[in-house]
Structure 1
Amino acid sequence: MTNPSTEFEVSAIRRWIMRIPFFFTGVLFTFTAWGTLIEHWGTFEPIEGVAFAFWGALSLLAIIGLRFPVKMLPILLLQFGYKLLWIAAVGYPLMSRGELDSSGQDLFQANAMGVVIDLIAIPWIYVIRTYVVEGFSRRDKDSE
């Protein structure tokens, strides 16, 4: 019988590749989100405040992901998902109607680049085996 903890391991090379989006997220969002949160005078609009708070928290989790990339894999999945959803639900419809301004185009390009980086960095076979196959094939005490 195989040891379940070693059956679906992520290679050392893949773990280093996973650190790339963690690094960029940790560095870029730390400066932009935390800089805005700390230096902002007055109040935020509610949705704008949610966005900066989310990015601030995401940056901290990404920094943890530099040390523990496999344990923090759900953060990469979240990042991949929200960027892909933004492109599909917000960016592309605006772009197709010609209503995407220059800052929106920059955001579209940044999200598209992030999706590609996440797509490459995420160990998809590990994700499928761990979260889909193994996750639905056994009954955990946590899921009861």
Structure 2
Amino acid sequence: MPQVSLFRLYSLRAVYLIIALGLALVVWPSVIQHAEPWGLSQGVVKCMLAAFSLLCVIGIRYPLQMLPVLFWELAWKSIWLLIVALPAWQSGAMDDSIMGTAMECMVAIIIPLAMPWQYVVARYIRQPGDRWRAA
């Protein structure tokens, strides 16, 4: 397994911290106190983002072990940008809400910049998976 530099570990910690602080400011106030019940979609989104922020707090201490959390964040935002934002932009149907979400999603560019790619390839691609049957 390749050694991950201290700089890269601190870069990952910074990413986790940025995400955790951002969600603490944006999501947690509405989770802690909301005046009226949420609809299904709004409740799911808020609760998932709150859980994600807690996992990012753990990532500050264990940046390599929590990499799958960053994979998830990068994957859903990339998919959303490709499936929703890009077609809306190409067709001229980009409205303020899509544009706002697209801008929020583009912040995910910091994830691949901080990612220890040699470690990711060694750990998640080349390393054999766990066994499927009893030994």
TM value normalised by structure 1? 0.84
**Other-structure match for 1:120:** 113
The answer to whether the 8 A contact 1:87-1:108 is kept is yes
Amino acid at match of 1:51: V
**Other-structure match for 1:85:** 79
Q: Residue 117 of structure 1: CA displacement? A: 0.5
Q: Where do 4+ consecutive residues of structure 1 move more than 4 Å? A: none
Q: Residue 93 of structure 1: CA displacement? A: 1.6
Aligned length: 133
Amino acid at match of 1:92: L
| Residue ranges of structure 1 left out of the alignment (5+ in a row) | 1-6
Confirm whether residue 13 of structure 1 aligns to residue 7 of structure 2: yes
Q: Equivalent pairs: percent with the same residue? A: 27
Q: Residue 98 of structure 1: CA displacement? A: 2.1
Moved more, 31-40 or 69-78: 31-40
Relative to structure 1, is the Cα distance of residues 93 and 9 closer, same or farther in structure 2, using a 3 angstrom cutoff?
A: same
Instruction: Output the aligned Cα RMSD.
Output: 1.5
TM value normalised by structure 2? 0.89
The answer to whether the 8 A contact 1:21-1:118 is kept is yes
> Any residues of structure 2 matched to 1:1-144 within 5 Å, and which?
7-114=1-108, 116-136=109-129, 140-141=130-131, 143-144=132-133
